[in-house]
Structure 1
Amino acid sequence: MSITDTSPDFTTRPSSSQEWIERARQVAAVLATDAVQRDRAGRTPHAEVQLLKDAGLVTLLGPEEHGGAGETWSTAYRVTREVARGDGSIGQLLGYHYLWAWAARLVATPEQIEEVERLYTAGNLFFGGAVNPRDNDLVITDEGEELVFRGRKSFSTGSKVSDLTVLEGVLKGTDQHVFAIVPSTQDGIVFGDDWDNLGQRLTESGSVEIRDVRVPWSAAAGYVDKQFRPLTYNTLNLPTIQLVFANFYLGIAQGALAAATAYTRERTRPWPYGGDNKDTASEEFYVLDTYGDLQSKLWAAEALVDRAVEEIEPLLHGDREAVTPEQRGQVAVRIAAAKQRIIDTGLEIATRVFEVTGARATANSVGLDIYWRNLRTHSLHDPVAYKRVEVGRYALLGELPEPTWYT
């Protein structure tokens, strides 16, 4: 039986932000039932992405006039977090989709924004992306009215489950980066099927070969007459995706704590040789102490992530030309703090839950390892030490982070 066979009835459309978050919880509950088994099977998550589409989550940020929910980023972040509680891989896929669906607003012209948002919203289309700035071997050549993309990217999250792919490369002979959105299914895009990592196994994040993919200059995001017109707003793409990371890390950590507490209540046995023997593990002093410590740390991390969401939301939904470098820097440093905190807290939770679930909880059939594997894998995306340094420079020197491909 497939995921879509067991999914709830999604015929009634949510009408508020809270209802969309509840819809995400329903999706997470479906995903959680066999997340470990699907992780081990490692099959391409077509059914999982179809579940997201059927639930209406794919077009959450899409304009209402094209059939989208017209929701804001605060809802999108919470939805990403909730889905990640049930399955970290699918939470990542959805969070990345939201960023790439918003990419047109971040860098494109008004005409391009309208075209992209109509296309993906009306078609209920899912985004993947061949966007890895550390790879410089995807080269774009200018052939008059067209741009031709050729080369390779080491990572292409969403690959075979995507309908649309965001390409990024450098225009030959320049330092100009160009983004373009193209159909994922075409002869010129060949996915490597080589994603075989410790965690986040269902994100389809393997390599991709780009073979003579042609796009008209009119599809080069933000370019007019072959010239890019920069705004500070363009540079919000990095803080926005870094906060996507923080939210699905938070969801993974919440899922780990929820799974562990359920196991402890139902299956962990009390220790019979401590001198103050208890009838259940839930009465054990060290168990209560540990869960109290972990829950408190998780609430603190959640509060910091939520604060960062509150700060970036008005910038993302406000006047694109009004965003200042200082506003951008202030929100970037808050996100850097939130990201480092949830990584540290999440990894601690995903490790220490074994101390309060017991030796039998290490059985492969239990699958508590999935949370640590997922969080450990993606938290290496970029060194967290640099996030601490960004916050340190702000605290000590009053310096705001400068925009880079990872800041």
Structure 2
Amino acid sequence: MSTSELRPALSEITPTTPDEWIQRAAEVAAILAVDAAVRDRAGATPYDEVKLLKDSGLVTLLGPTEHGGGGQTWPTAYKVIRTVAEADGSIGQLLGYHLLWFWAARLVGTKEQIAAVEEAATTNKWFFGGAVNPRDADVVVTDEGDTISFSGRKSFSTGSKVSDVTVLEGTLLDSGTHVFAIVPSDIEGLNFLDDWDNIGQRLTESGGVTLNQVRVGWDQAAGFVGKTFQPRVYNTLNVPTIQLVFVNFYLGIARGALETAVTYTREKSRSWLHGGYASAVDEPAVIDAYGDLQSKLWAVEALADAVALEAQVIHDNAWEVTEQQRGEHEVRVAAVKARATEVALEVTSRIFEVTGARSTATIEGLDRFWRNVRTHTLHDPVAYKRREVGRHLLVGELPEPTWYS
């Protein structure tokens, strides 16, 4: 059954409060959950799923209310991402990345650019992709007078084929200054390679992209005035902001795995023949394992929510945030990223210990949760997150703003 056939399940009431938006995310998750395992195996481009996100209003969650957006904050957005990811980790990631790139103008742009982008993106319900893989420094930006052109290649471009617009990043040929710009995804010279074939997050359309003289006007270069970039500390908040996106779809996937496993244990698991218990739910080892996993997940979810509230203070003070505030926040983000990674991997792996051998059948789809977490948690080494926390604790060192910290 396709998601399009299930869309009448969406409420006709337009959400206005954080709780109502989280409930809307739960409605979307319920639709996605019906055939999540089937869609994961098929690996088809998620056009219907992205349309569902648009129809639900989640793509404009952070958009200004005067343009028809939800007008919500990042703490709500993170919970929405987590909720969607419970049903489908790929779609949770797509939504999370979209919301980050929707926010890109605020992170880097001038006030005039921010207003223009958010009005257009909200009014037109743009879905964002991003060709901004930081490990690839091979996109060169050339000054052509009134225009600039992007040429090169990125190994990853999440959202690619399903996006309306794509955020580009490259470095100016002479100075090495980074330049961001938003372009239509069907612009001449932007070619998606359709080569995403990984074990997890299979519906994220995260394949490579080539850029062949993709041209935009200098006025579209985010944060530039008269060909000169206007720096501020908030420019560096893209990393902690998206790292919290990661945290929340990891936790969503883990929650989805745990709840799916609980249902399986209640309805299908058999007690061990030598245990002496009539039902698997009465076995001490099963009870202990579920209690352990639930407790750990609750703890990290609480930490994630606390750090999200801390982040919102910085977003609210975007034009005045200091390096000290930014650095201390990044340490907290690093801490929750490390714990979320470890707990999500543990939950998605250990569920098989309490569901039993028959739960490994392909039709059950329990493996997708682990494959999804394992694939994306390799984005950047968790040891370096713990290093940030340890160095700050021992010597007060603040993480240097980089593409990963």
Both structures adopt the same fold (TM-score exceeding 0.5): yes
In the alignment, is the contact (CA less than 8 A) between 2:2 and 2:35 conserved in 1?
no
Which stretch shows the higher mean deviation, 41-50 or 391-400?
Answer: 391-400
Q: Partner residue of 1:156?
A: 157
2: CA distance, partners of 1:101 / 1:149? 20
SS in 1 for 2:103: helix
Q: Give how far 1:237 is off.
A: 0.8
1: CA distance, partners of 2:134 / 2:259? 36
| 2:64 is equivalent to residue 66 of structure 1 | no
2: CA distance, partners of 1:9 / 1:31? 12
2: CA distance, partners of 1:180 / 1:10? 36
Q: Partner residue of 2:170?
A: 169
Report 1:393-404 matches (<5 A).
393-404=391-402
- Partner letter of residue 315 of structure 2? L
Q: Partner residue of 2:370?
A: 372
Q: Give how far 1:328 is off.
A: 0.5
SS in 2 for 1:252: helix
| 2:291 is equivalent to residue 292 of structure 1 | yes
SS in 2 for 1:150: strand
Match of 2:379 among 378, 381, 388: 381
Deviations 1:333-355 (A, max 9, x none): 10100011011011011111000
Aligned residues: 404
1: CA distance, partners of 2:319 / 2:95? 28
Q: Partner residue of 1:241?
A: 242
- Partner letter of residue 286 of structure 2? V
Q: Partner residue of 1:122?
A: 123
- Partner letter of residue 399 of structure 1? E
5+ residue gaps, structure 2, are none
Q: Partner residue of 2:334?
A: 336
1: CA distance, partners of 2:178 / 2:20? 39
In the alignment, is the contact (CA less than 8 A) between 2:10 and 2:24 conserved in 1?
no
- Partner letter of residue 182 of structure 1? V
Q: Give how far 1:50 is off.
A: 0.3
Q: Give how far 1:220 is off.
A: 0.2
SS in 1 for 2:213: strand
- Partner letter of residue 3 of structure 1? T
User: What is the root-mean-square deviation of aligned Cα atoms in Å?
Assistant: 0.8
| 2:324 is equivalent to residue 317 of structure 1 | no
2: CA distance, partners of 1:237 / 1:317? 15
1: CA distance, partners of 2:363 / 2:316? 45
| 2:201 is equivalent to residue 203 of structure 1 | no
Deviations 1:175-222 (A, max 9, x none): 200000000012311100000001000000000111111100000000
2: CA distance, partners of 1:38 / 1:185? 26
Match of 2:389 among 388, 391, 394: 391
SS in 1 for 2:364: coil
Deviations 1:290-312 (A, max 9, x none): 00111111111111111110110
1: CA distance, partners of 2:282 / 2:323? 53
Q: Partner residue of 1:32?
A: 33
In the alignment, is the contact (CA less than 8 A) between 1:256 and 1:350 conserved in 2?
yes
Q: Give how far 1:239 is off.
A: 0.4
Match of 2:358 among 353, 357, 360: 360
Q: Give how far 1:2 is off.
A: 2.4
1: CA distance, partners of 2:396 / 2:303? 20
In the alignment, is the contact (CA less than 8 A) between 2:10 and 2:27 conserved in 1?
no
SS in 1 for 2:319: helix
Q: Give how far 1:4 is off.
A: 1.9
- Report percent identity of matched pairs: 62
Q: Partner residue of 1:271?
A: 272
